[in-house]
Amino acid sequence: MKRFAFLDWMRGLAVLIMIQCHAFNSFTRLDLRQSGSYMLTQFIGGMAAPLFLFMAGMTAGFQMESLEARKRRRVDRWVAALRRAVYILFIAYLFRFTNWLGSLPKPSMDDFLKVDILNCMGLAMLVFAAAALFDFHQRLRITVLGALAVAAVAPVMSGLDWSGVAPVLRDYLVPSPNRGRFAFFPCAAYLGFGIAAGSIVKRTAVERMDRMMQWAVLLGFVLVFGAQYFASVPYSIYANADFWRNSPALILIRVGIALLLLAGAYVWTEFCTKSGWSWMQNLGKTSLMVYWVHVMLVYGSLADPLKGSLTVPLAAVVTLLVIVLMVLLAELRLRWKLRYGERWRAGTTVAGPAPV
């Protein structure tokens, strides 16, 4: 599958936002967490999960487009999308298992059963995999309408009585007060919108990419300002919507921001930088590994002496150090992959016929 430099850069930006959010959250002193600078880091960090889900949807859209172009049967496309979703869920629980091991000698099942971003991503991909059964135009309508439906019913779902439901199932479906922050309602909406965006990008010819990005900017601003306007209206159709947890307006605002960042990443990589090495793109290419390692680094036992003990400036220094370490890790991973990938291809290539 063809790699787009602007998508790697945008994914790298999401990684950067995520690292700073987690590092400040882990290391900043509790009595400083009402300060403006700390709250700014967490406010910005709130875009990390929506960006990852949106871009996971774009990747799923690319896959569906590629399979359709090869004229694969509809059911084969659906099965391929389901396999990708199951793989993400497997990675999610493997990640949770390593966190569970990290809690030894006092292991906590909460660490294993926690619903994190990868769990939400896997469930959303399972549901939206049905979009692979349809062609391009139908897929756009289904994914956009499905994403809007998920966002629209999220406050209703949150308002239901979940007291008799197993906590892990509740956390998968709706945000809970103390645990679940990455619930299907409303976070799966980002993935649905991402599938639509990815399908469009995949179908766009190179010479028309500039125009497509102009439309992304226009739509992004419409979503941001339009949703913000309706969110400020003093009347609501919902009995108890929470703007920061289940509001459809917040979903649309963040999708608008994602579209603006998508266009910005395209402009930056296409016109403002030269082709070649990019630490931001490298973070994007190794996002899963960086996510895994940095969480263990900033929340694991190795960081215990620093957790909750630093001022905001010192936490910023440690955050910068973590970012540098992750950039180095990404570089090493990509060099290793290039080196041993070339050896593997050389060892498995069938030689052509000998010259006569």
User: What does the pLDDT average to over 38-64?
Assistant: 96
What are the boundaries of each domain within the chain?
Answer: 1-46+281-339
Which residues are bridge partners to 85 per DSSP?
none
Q: At 139, which helix (H) or strand (E)?
A: helix 136-158
Question: Which residues have C-beta within 8 Å of that of residue 156, sequence separation ≥ 6?
Answer: 238
Q: At 317, which helix (H) or strand (E)?
A: helix 312-348
User: Are 17 and 45 in contact, with CB atoms under 8 Å apart?
Assistant: yes
At 269, list the tokens: 């990589």
Digit-coded pLDDT (tens) for 183-219: 999 999 999 999 999 999 999 999 999 999 999 999 9
Query: Of 171, 146, 168, which is closest to residue 157 (Cα–Cα)?
Result: 171
At 93, list the tokens: 């629980």
Is the whole model's pTM more than 0.85, yes or no? yes
Specify the pLDDT at position 2: 65
Report phi then psi at 28, rounded to 5: -75, 140
Digit-coded pLDDT (tens) for 55-105: 999 999 999 999 988 877 899 999 999 999 999 999 999 998 887 776 666
User: What does the pLDDT average to over 265-293?
Assistant: 93
Type of residue at 168: V
Question: Which residues have C-beta within 8 Å of that of residue 113, sequence separation ≥ 6?
Answer: 96, 167, 168
Query: Of 117, 291, 125, which is closest to residue 194 (Cα–Cα)?
Result: 125
Which letter, b or e, does each residue of 158-197 get, where b requires 16 or more Cβ atoms within 10 Å of its Cβ?
beeebeeeeebebbbbbbbeeebbbbbbbbbbbbbbbbbb
Q: Is 260 exposed, middle or buried (0-12, 13-18, 19+ CB in 10 A)?
A: middle
Helix axes 209-232, 248-267, angle to 10 degrees: 150
User: Are 183 and 115 in contact, with CB atoms under 8 Å apart?
Assistant: yes
Which residues are bridge partners to 310 per DSSP?
28
Instruction: Indicate the length of the chain as a whole number.
Output: 356
Digit-coded pLDDT (tens) for 136-164: 999 999 999 999 999 999 999 998 989 88
Average pLDDT, the chain: 91
In this predicted structure, the answer to whether residue 250 has a pLDDT above a threshold of 50 is: yes
Specify the pLDDT at position 109: 72
